[in-house]
Chain A
Amino acid sequence: MTERVFRLDGVSFSYPGSGSCLEEVSFEVGRGERVALLGANGSGKSTVLRLMDGLHFASLGRLVALGEVLSPAAVERPPFGPRFRKEVGFLFQDSDAQLFSPSVEEEVAFGPLQMGWTRPEILRRVGDTLQILGIEALRDRPPQNLSAGEKKKVALASLLALSPSVLLLDEPTAGLDPRSQGALLELLEELHASGFTTVTATHDLELVPHLADRAVVLGEDHRIAADGSVRDILADTDLLVRVNLIHAHRHRHGALVHSHPHQHAVMHEHSHRLGHPHPHPHED
């Protein structure tokens, strides 16, 4: 049986002074899996990732990570705390929040420094990581002066420098131009091929097949609405409409204007009446 990396049992969470963000969320993530957390804005995807990274803790239920129940004490207590921080990397949606060091080199070295690695070891690791991501030229640059794509790569490098085995990615392609988006997707594919476990929060259905094999869908009621293969989830139009990931919109076929639930991610077929039925696959 595949080793279990995360197990969420009936996890509920609410931020102080606000309503519930998550309601009885339960799912598991196995070693080497690629899981997408799908849901509309405000459904709680980012909160699930923060819980999985030990930044917040469940109000109800329990979350087991790397074989231990996550709690404020657990993530601070050696040896589990440092091991957990080393093993699990979290890519924030806002790169500006993640890149707080004065130079790219220091940014990438931040994690290894916290782990107490030796200076030569850190410098070697930083060099290797920058080389793997093809960003050696940025080594002495201040992160705030980089482009969005470069920032995302540096943020990823800052995680990879710790040699994690699990990556939690919060809207990794948000705000990137198509070229940077493609480069990032290729990189994530390579990481998966080398055995990484990834959990990606996104509402970009077009990218989901590139990011995950399995999807966990969060509804607007902050509960799990579905858990299955990406192919099955994306084919379930009713589900996607129900969780507000797609909507019925008007579009035109020649002279005919009509509306129906529709997503831009996958190819679909439908026919029209009005005397000229013509089943036609199309991709928007």
Chain B
Amino acid sequence: MGALVLAAATLVQPADTGAERTWLRRLDARAKIVGLLGFIVAATLSRSLPALGVCVLTAWVLAGAGGVDWRRFALAVLSVPAFTLAIAAPATLNVVTGGRDILVLWHMGLGHWGPWSWPEVLAVTDRGLFVAGRFVLRSLACVSLGAILAASTRPTDLFRGLRGLGVPAVFVTVLDMMVRYLGLLLRGAEEIHLAKLSRSIGHVPVRREQAWAAAGMAELYRKCRRLSGEVADAMVSRGFSGEVRSLSTGRWGWPETVFVLACAAGATTALALGWGG
């Protein structure tokens, strides 16, 4: 789930300039982290479809009211659950999840192979649909909430917010540097791929492709090590002695308090609705 939220967050990463300062963008990052994270926890724990539907709906209303870029938001929110739908699809079948058959797909005939046996028909069950639907809705809710946080908060403010919430500086610094250098390494990987592509003619055997991929990974690892060494040197050169210090400060006013309280109320409602399943 975390990976899905991260993927969505990457897709809706805001531009660093020219972004309209809507009320959601103006909110202190700490309030958004606490409020939206609370909602994500509630969505993760909720078991009923209506409760998860309320979470999704709330997230979308919040995105609309907060001036989130709809095009990028939709791209992130709809592409990631499409992936979860593919993962959850087998769970709808009677061979995976029991329950009442509601759609027969194939008459297989009773049979067994060694210790394994299978039912007479391959069918979609009501229980299977519920389980898959819950998984997809839950991911949709979490991804939507994560995407709102990413779309309305610059990475700089997000990391400041994490620091403000007491996350140890070393974790925030590592997280920040990981996000930054991931981009650089991806660019490196792309260049390696293009360099290979420009010298490739015709079909290349799979073994050679595999060898090339391994060599590319080794080269990236080498670059990564060099870069991290240089970064460490650059930090030491400016007086770094192991303790990360930051200019981070926050501004917490009544809008932040109202936002967190509203999120808490929404999350509690979702939990109350959805705890029993």
Contact = CB atoms under 8 A, between A and B. Distances in A.
B234 A98 contact: yes
Interface stretch (B96-104, B123-131, B193-201, B235-243): B235-243
B45 to A, nearest CB: 32
A96 B227 contact: yes
Contacts of A102: 155-156, 159-160, 176, 180
Interface residues of B, number: 27
A105 B16 CA distance: 14
Interface in A111-168: 111, 113-115, 119, 122-123, 140-142, 144-145, 158-159, 162
Contacts of B210: none
Interface string A18-56: 000000000000000000000000000000001001010
A56 to B, nearest CB: 9
Contacts of B237: 53, 55, 85, 89-90
A171 to B, nearest CB: 13
Interface in A87-115: 89-90, 92, 94, 96-98, 100-103, 105-106, 109-111, 113-115
A86 interface: yes
A67 interface: no
A92 B177 CA distance: 18
A49 to B, nearest CB: 10
A115 B233 contact: no
Interface string B93-121: 00000000000000000000000000000
A55 B236 contact: yes
B247 A109 contact: yes
Given A53-B237, A96-B184, A114-B241, A145 B16 contact: yes
B220 to A, nearest CB: 15
B184 A85 contact: no
B245 interface: yes
A149 B241 CA distance: 29
Contact of A141 (B16, B184, B230, B238): B16
Interface string B174-214: 00110010011000000000000000000000000000000
B231 interface: yes
A158 B227 CA distance: 19
Given A141-B16, A145-B16, A97 B156 contact: no
A89 B236 CA distance: 11
A50 B233 contact: yes
Contact of A82 (B156, B235, B239, B246): B239
Contacts of A122: 247
Contact of B246 (A113, A123, A141, A162): A113
**Most-contacted residue by chain B among A76, A97, A106, A144 (CB, 10 A):** A97
Interface in B144-159: 154-156, 159
Contacts of B177: 100
A122 B155 CA distance: 22
A106 B230 CA distance: 19
Contacts of A90: 234, 237
B68 to A, nearest CB: 20
A94 B229 CA distance: 12
Contacts of B233: 50, 55, 92, 97
**Most-contacted residue by chain A among B17, B230, B237 (CB, 10 A):** B237
A114 B180 contact: no
A149 B245 CA distance: 27
A141 B176 CA distance: 14
A162 B16 contact: no
A97 B233 CA distance: 9
B107 to A, nearest CB: 59
A115 B184 CA distance: 30
Contact of B239 (A85, A97, A106, A119): A85
Contacts of B245: 113-114
B230 A94 contact: yes
A94 B160 CA distance: 26
A135 to B, nearest CB: 14
B156 A103 contact: yes
Interface string B245-268: 111000000000000000000000
B57 to A, nearest CB: 33
B16 to A, nearest CB: 5
7 contacts: A96-B227, A100-B234, A101-B176, A102-B160, A140-B154, A145-B16, A158-B238
Interface of B: 16-17, 154-156, 159-160, 176-177, 180, 183-184, 227, 230-231, 233-241, 245-247
Given A102-B156, A110-B238, 8 more contacts: A50-B233, A96-B227, A97-B231, A114-B241, A123-B247, A140-B154, A144-B184, A159-B238
Give me the 9 closest cross-chain CB pairs, A-B, nearest first: A97-B230, A114-B239, A102-B156, A111-B238, A113-B245, A85-B239, A103-B156, A98-B234, A90-B237
